[in-house]
Amino acid sequence: MVQVAAALLFALAAGLGLMVILAMLKTNADAILSALVGEGAFPVEAAPHPGPAATVITLRHAVRRDVARSVTTRPQLSRAA
Give per-residue pLDDT as tens, 21-66.
Answer: 999 888 888 888 777 787 665 666 666 667 777 777 777 776 666 6
Picking from 37, 41, 27, the residue whose alpha carbon sits closest to that of residue 19 is: 27
More confident residue, 61 or 12: 12
Cα separation, 24 vs 28, in Å, equals 6
The residue type of 41 is A
- What is the C-alpha separation between 16 and 36, in angstroms, rounded? 23
What pLDDT sits at residue 18? Answer: 96
Check pLDDT > 70 for residue 11: yes
* Residue-level pLDDT at 77: 72
Element (H, E) at 19: helix 2-27
Query: Whole-structure pTM over 0.85, yes or no?
Result: no
**Residue (of 59, 36, 40) closest to 48 by Cα position:** 40
